[in-house]
Structures are given as structure tokens and as C-alpha cells.
Amino acid sequence: MLANVFTALLAAYPLFSTAQSTNLAGKVGPLTSIAAKKAVKTCDITAYGGKAGSDIFAAITSAFAACKTGGVVVIPSGQYNLATWVSLSGGKAWALQLDGIITRTVTAGGNMIFIQHTTDFEMFSSTGEGAVQGLGYHLHKSGAPRLLRFYQVTHFSAHHFALVDAPAFQFSMDTCDSGEVYNMAIRGGYSGGLDGIDVWSTNMWIHDVMVTNKDECVTVNSPAKNILVENIYCSWSGGCGMGSFGTDTNVSDITYKNVYTVHSNNMLLIKSNGGSGTVSNAVFENFIGHANAYSLDIDQYWSSMDTIAGNGVQLNNIVISNWTGTEANGAQRGPIKIACADGAPCTGVDLEDFNMWTETGSSQWYSCRSAYTSKARPVPLYCLKGGSTYTSYAATTTTVKNAPAGYMARTMAADLTKHFGTTASIPVPALPTMYFPGMKPYSKVAGT
């Protein structure tokens, strides 16, 4: 009986895809439970002078000093302000419990909350109602603050809170290791430079996250290795991606799976312009899209960045499988655009079960440049070339006028009917209860 139950659970909550490029390289997340940390010490900011409606910088700093070597810093339910950015460095086996809402009240740059040089750390909301409110509509310009940044944090998690209306990036993880990010809602204005999650780290599991903005949804940058991104909901976003890549790019063993994208710039964008290094062993599977401008867009001549010296970033062993849904206008922006660097042609690019169709018109195109597949087929796959001699070739475009079988895909009940602008405050959202059609979150959503 127990064996049958366990088998059913594995079927409902698969840990890894059979096609993924790599498993995670060991345990992710904190090493000590919240209960164990609270048994050591609890440091409620109200005991250190923190008050609703006031600046809580000093209270957070004092509470952290008291609990940084073991314990939980608690920001209880309520509305709080932040006028001086919080930088919490060092410590071990501690947590930050964010049950209240922290609102930015000044215009300084930097990071509203900066966690660095720590291990066995957890940032979470026990109620699912905690949030950081950046009020970015007041201040969308260079130098404005990010909401949250982790730097050199190991064995950590961040979950069950919202990041809202950052003036700049929402959440970045730089040179971190063995982390888990999940059950989060991120909402930004409809403007560039408001990235959702940016990560350049190792051994990371990012799952069950919803992002609304006009820039990156969940993006991997260099250097990065052993990263699993799954159950991602990009709504009125820039879409998921990798890059921009430049000199000495070093990215490998990356998997994106179960990614749902609606009304976004693209479903997946891998971008560079010149540069050097490699991106290898990446899998992008189970993508559903609706009303997006681009779908699959590999662009190594990305015009939004200046050209960097070098022959180009070498892409190798890139698998795209089981994509369904629709693009906005396939005659204007086809669902497959693979423009690889002539000086470093892409190799081992494989498209399997790619079935997408246009919402406008009756045709769409596939375009490839200097891109090769390793699959042996009598007819080249889509617009990719085969063989074992990898020389550059000019972009070739194939136009199709018949919809592929099986392109119809499910939608999500939480799809937004319009984006959030940049002239009014964005409300703090409730956490979604689902992030990909038919897939329950791996962890129960707090407050449900």
C-alpha cells in the first residue's frame, strides 16, 4: 500500500524530467529547519524598536545582530517603511521571516535588502502575505534600488513572499550556491530594466514562480552551472532567457521545464553579440505560449547590446522539446528564430515536438543561421542543417502555411487581461495556487 502511494506521489510530483540536461548537484536549501532555528532564538523587530508605519532599518539591523548566529528575525504582519537600505552580512543558521509589507520611502540606489556572505539561511513569509513594495512608479530611472539581492549565500531558500514594483531589478542571486526559490509572486511595471529573477550561481532550483513585468522573467547569466528552473508563469513579461552573454561565458547543465508564457516579448531568448566562451548542455522542455511576440529566439547578433570582441559564444547540445501554443503573428515574428554566431556556429541543437501556430494570419516562418542539429534525418529539421562539418551559413527562412497537429494548448485562469503600467502603484498580489497548467506546486502555498 505504501509503495503504491509513493509511486502515485512521484507521478503527481516528478522530481526531474527524463530529458533534462543534468540533475541538481546535491542538496539545495537550508540545512536547519525553521523550528530548530526558532528553538535557538526569535528576534522580533518590535522588541528592537520597530513600529508599523515607521522606518525599520535600525530595528532589523539590531534584530539581525542578536540572531545572526542562530535564530529567526521576525517582521510581523503590518505596514512598515524602509528609508535606509538593509545590508545583512555574515551569520549562519538564521532566517528572516517577512510577514509584513516593507515599503520604500527614499530614492537612493543600491539594494533595499542585501543578504551576503551567509550560509544555512531562509527568507520566507509564514502567512504568504509578506512583501517588499518598491513603489517603482515614482522612480523608474538608472540608479534606483533593486528590491532584493543575495551574494555569496549558500544552502538557502526564499519563498512565500511577493516582490512588487521595483524601480530596478526585483531579485538577483550572484555567486550563490545550493539555493531554492519557490512559491513567489513578482510584479513590476511594463518597462525595460525591471528584471524578475536574475541568477548567476551553481546548484539552484527555482520553481513555482510568477513574474509580471516587461523584462526578464527568470534569466540565467554567466557563470552558472547545475540550474533547474520549472513551473514558471510569465505573464505580460519579457519572457525567460539566458544572457546577455559576453567575454568568457561559462554556462552549463541548465534545465527549464514547465514554462507558461502569455502576452510576453518571447518564450525563450538566448542573447549575445560577439564575445566568447560556451553555453552547453541545456534543455528547454514543456513550454506553453499564447499571444507572445517571439517564441524561440536564439539571437547571437542581439542589437540591443553593443558588439563585444570575439568570435561569438559557442552553443552546444541545446535541446528544445514539447513546445505548444500560439504566437501573436507568425508572419511578422516566426516561432523559431535561431541566429548563431558565424564565428562559432551552434552545434547539437535539437527541436523535438515543436508545435506552434499563429494567432493572426495563415502562415508562419522558421529562420536559422549557422545552426546545426546532431539528429540524423533525411530532411533537415525545421530550418536547421545537419552533418558534422560546422561552417557558417546565411540565414535561411522556411515559410509554412499549415498548422501543425497538436498545437492547441491550455490557458491559465489567472492570465492577466492587461499589464501593470508605470504611472500608478501596483497592488501586492496574493500568491498563485498554480504556476503551470495541471501542475501543483511542489510545496503547499502558505495561507491556502
Could you list the active site residues? 215, 290
Place of cell 501573436: 328
- Nearest CA among 106, 89, 94, 107 for reference residue 150: 89
Length of the chain in terms of residues written: 448
User: Phi/psi class of residue 12: alpha, beta or left (left: φ > 0; alpha: ψ in -120 to 50)?
Assistant: alpha
- Nearest CA among 83, 80, 84, 77 for reference residue 52: 80
- Report the alpha-carbon distance of residue 359 to residue 348 in Å, rounded: 30
Give the amino acid at 407: Y
Give the amino acid at 306: D
CA dihedral 375, 377, 381, 386 (to 10 degrees): 60
Give the amino acid at 162: A
C-alpha dist (Å) from residue 256 to 16, 58, 138, 397: 11, 40, 34, 27
Give the amino acid at 343: G
- Report the alpha-carbon distance of residue 104 to residue 93 in Å, rounded: 28
Chain CA centroid to CA 341, Å: 25
Cβ(122)–Cβ(157) below 8 Å: yes
Place of cell 554556462: 251
- Report the alpha-carbon distance of residue 241 to residue 259 in Å, rounded: 11
